Amino acid sequence: MANTIKTKVGIIGGGPSGLLLSQLLDLKGIDSVVLERRTRDYVLGRIRAGVLEQGFTDLMREAGVAERMDAEGEIHNGFEISDMGRLHHIDLKGLTGGDTVMVYGQTEVTRDLYDAREARGGKVIHEAMDVQPHDLTSDAPYITYTRDGEKCRVDCDFIVGADGFHGVSRKSIPEDQITEYEKVYPFGWLGILSETKPVHPELIYARSERGFALCSLRSQVLSRYYVQVPLDDKVEDWSDERFWDELKARLPEDVAAKLETGPSIEKSIAPLRSFVCEPMRYGNLFLAGDAAHIVPPTGAKGLNSAASDIYYLYHAMVAHYDEGDSTGLDSYSETALRRVWKAQRFSWWMTSMLHNFPDNPDFDRKIQNIELEYFLESEAARASLAENYVGLPF
């Protein structure tokens, strides 16, 4: 094929996983090509995660893309849980012996990664259509795609599927070679972004009779708020005014009284799902990030789990190319999945503890109430929550 590129690692997906991996590999002299279906503006327009674990921020520093994050990101030493109108502080720093999280939007992370790839002359090909990986179990896998109507091909040693939950990579693995584990929750999150001052300096996770709410933020002038909604609700059902009224009704009265409202600049509903695909490798295709696993956003683990995959994959590839040692690649799936499942457990647990499950029997509701009460009263239990929230070690 005329338009054939040769590289070491062909990466499908130009989200945070794919970009971070290509940047890290590049710094070690390992060439890669990133194929992204969308335009750069489209990718940067997606409003998603915002809470970064220490491991993620360290990886951004290792990738040489942390300057703006360190200048503009906000360190959070803790967060609040509001239980039926009463605030309880979770002192992450105190409970973990010094660990914290950073609030810095996924959009900004992605922007910094794109800028870094551009500055180093990285190959990120946007609007790559009909992307398809081939010959995955051979030593010479390749990817085909179409760009501007022309058929193109990437020849490589390895393919990394970093193309999110709906991507083509996972679907290219024969069904009998993988097992998919899934839990779909009976509600979604309606989220808005507004150019208003956050109601509280730290995040507030609120459980109320009317359902869950989250007060989050991207900066001191940009707030992100969510309310739990039934799965069949539509964005059009929710005027800004209705959203603000509902959010206030789920917060403690003194917090609601301080809430600054304004027009939403983004509004969307996301269904909540737990999902893991095992194994995360098929031949010379490696899955990473949302392509292999999804969590409900309650524990802020989605982007952070993607980062731990990239950490393992990056180190495994460096060992392979620099030292001819492929043990890291051989154990990638097992190693990554161990941490993935811990993040799954934590996200499921936070979701189960804080949301209203309309069809749950009374017994389950009683257990849910006492579970939260126990966690708020017990220092040991709060320490466990804090340890997971700041992120387990890679």
Ligand X SMILES: Cc1cc2nc3c(=O)[nH]c(=O)nc-3n(C[C@H](O)[C@H](O)[C@H](O)COP(=O)(O)OP(=O)(O)OC[C@H]3O[C@@H](n4cnc5c(N)ncnc54)[C@H](O)[C@@H]3O)c2cc1C
Q: Give the residue numbers annotated as catalytic, written as ranges.
A: 76, 205, 297, 301, 389
- Write the interaction track for ligand X spanning residues 178-217; mark x where CB under 6 A is met and - where it is not: ----------------------------------------
Rounded to whole angstroms, the Cα distance separating 31 from 28 reads 9
Is residue 9 at the binding interface for ligand X, with CB under 6 A as the rule?
no
Is residue 251 at the binding interface for ligand X, with CB under 6 A as the rule?
no
Six token digits for residue 114: 């794109």
User: Please, which residue, 180 or 373, has the CB nearer to ligand X?
Assistant: 180
Smallest distance from ligand X to CB 347, Å: 9
- Write the interaction track for ligand X spanning residues 126-145; mark x where CB under 6 A is met and - where it is not: --x--x--------------
Q: At what angle do helices 54-62 and 16-27 cross, to 10 degrees?
A: 40
Rounded to whole angstroms, the Cα distance separating 150 from 2 reads 10
Contact in structure between 230 and 289 (CB atoms under 8 Å): no
Is residue 15 at the binding interface for ligand X, with CB under 6 A as the rule?
yes
Look up residue 101 and give its amino acid: V
Is residue 101 at the binding interface for ligand X, with CB under 6 A as the rule?
no
Smallest distance from ligand X to CB 162, Å: 5
Give me the residue label for tokens 């989050």.
Answer: 216
Is residue 218 at the binding interface for ligand X, with CB under 6 A as the rule?
no
Contact in structure between 143 and 157 (CB atoms under 8 Å): no
Contact in structure between 332 and 287 (CB atoms under 8 Å): no
User: Please, which residue, 207 or 301, has the CB nearer to ligand X?
Assistant: 301
Six token digits for residue 160: 């990394």
When binding is defined by CB under 6 A, the residue of 83, 163, 202, 246 that contacts ligand X is 163
Q: What is the DSSP string of 295-360?
A: --GGGS-HHHHHHHHHHHHHHHHHHHHHH---HHHHHHHHHHHHHHHHHHHHHHHHHHHHS--TT-
When binding is defined by CB under 6 A, the residue of 23, 26, 37, 133 that contacts ligand X is 37
Is residue 355 at the binding interface for ligand X, with CB under 6 A as the rule?
no
Smallest distance from ligand X to CB 129, Å: 8
When binding is defined by CB under 6 A, the residue of 7, 10, 11, 17 that contacts ligand X is 17
When binding is defined by CB under 6 A, the residue of 215, 290, 318, 394 that contacts ligand X is 290
Is residue 16 at the binding interface for ligand X, with CB under 6 A as the rule?
yes
Rounded to whole angstroms, the Cα distance separating 88 from 80 reads 6
252 three-state secondary structure: coil
User: Please, which residue, 108 or 367, has the CB nearer to ligand X?
Assistant: 108
User: Please, which residue, 315 or 360, has the CB nearer to ligand X?
Assistant: 315
Give me the residue label for tokens 């051979």.
Answer: 138
The stretches of the chain forming alpha helices (DSSP H) are 16-27, 40-44, 54-62, 67-72, 92-96, 106-119, 240-250, 253-258, 302-323, 327-354, 362-377, 379-390
From 26, 14, 102, select the one nearest 66 (Cα to Cα). Answer: 102
- Write the interaction track for ligand X spanning residues 291-310; mark x where CB under 6 A is met and - where it is not: ------x--xxxxx-x----
Six token digits for residue 197: 């001052």
* Part in contact with ligand X (CB under 6 A); list of ranges 116-124, 159-167, 242-250, 332-340: 159-167
* Part in contact with ligand X (CB under 6 A); list of ranges 32-40, 201-209, 355-363, 386-394: 32-40
Residues that bind ligand X (CB under 6 A): 12-18, 35-38, 43, 48-50, 106, 128, 131, 162-164, 167-168, 270, 289-290, 297, 300-304, 306
